[in-house]
Structure 1
């Protein structure tokens, strides 16, 4: 404790402020913030710690049940001033985000080739619904949580391991990472979006368009019991690059029969690798029922009916995505 003679005259405002500045030292690693950027970083750390470690009583935890998946986001740039954001930008972003997440989840669900038309199934809408939670200062930030568990039980095993929402968020963060990957960003973005189909790509273009039009930036942090903690940032220029790439890409679909040898695959990634004469090794997306039986097809000649989606990047490179429709052993 400071001795009385060390205290400044309370009537001397400047001396009092100087004394407070000199004596507000904190424990190591907790230095006082001295700028808006340091304040933003400190608040983001506190929110991440709250998401990871929790700051609730045992009673609150028991009442709320197991931890929910959550997405913390922080918007910055011209639309954000003094931790306030234009309502039109925030509303547009949240609407586009929810639409894009649901659309991507639909595209990832069982990898069916009918995702570009018709309504999104209601159970997928419920399983990917996001709710606004605590709001915290960054530049402008908030937390979105997944729906309560009872709203997701229509999808099997949604609470065990990786959920459809986890996969959708992982795909979204893959896209934002690739949009900031440098000179080859356009091709990387298109390669990530191509397997999702035209509709999901259009919704992702709308989402990144909100950021680009507002000349803003956004930091996304996904927290999940399965996936842990993952963060990604998207700048205004990256958002513009992503939007234009997805806007001008023309998706074309055709079916084909591939005859070749199964040389590999991954149950985790949901892929089968088929070596086709004069084409080389083709990676085909397949549902888990097929990838679980990879050993039965290994090194054997197969007939694979596939749906091929093709799109051309702004740099002129043609990208192909293969989706397995049917797989049979070749006769003889």
Structure 2
């Protein structure tokens, strides 16, 4: 175990990705030691925050590096493209579920007894009511959500049988870019392929796409477009550190992470126009199968159990941070040519 209460040592799986890298940066800023385990299949080595040690490898092989010197694991490593999960479900069951089986085995063998898991609102599928509480029925509509729910069940069993202290944090729409590393070193989204609305809108603002597709304009919402709950990535990261502090042996705590407010697709596009000063054309498109009209979280449990209070809740703030990152990334790419 670590030598002091103030400084602890954590393994962050998938820490070269957007959310994992941001959480790793917050851990470092809090004075902890961090090792990132990532196979770099979707992450970026430059996304690992300075001060963290990077081990390039798979979570299936976590036992090679995990030992009793670690105080806990924060688990972000997963395949996460919904569309791909439909066409290649076997990949998602093998990596997301099979990989976590091996990670939990390694944690038992190394006597590392604290885990925070990156779960998702996709476990709820198409909810009957909103805001969504943790007691809502779980009915994933795709293999990605199903594999995340399977891991949640797996962790519940691990806590009951082996005394693991664990929290699953179910994210809604994570966005923005982190400023925890200071000016000039933001951590933001750069998925390939990109499927998230805010970075897609900003790609249009940068001239990398001709227009943003609006999938469905006839939903039963105020402007006819889908409504989603957006949470700033720094607020999200802070919840993980709180979850580490509150983890209790034998308990699997499940918390939603969202702002409790919804913004429509058209509200996101219009706010992006205001933030960027760019026109951002949009193209109406048919609804996508399985897209609920409204997905908004109830985060009361996170507030009560973790003491978590998101502070970056304005949509303009979230988009402005993402825009700064998008511009910096575009400029760096241009300079590299």
Shorter-chain TM range is: under 0.3
Q: Please state which structure has a larger fraction of its residues in strand.
A: 1
TM-score by length of 1: 0.28
> Which structure has the bigger radius of gyration?
1
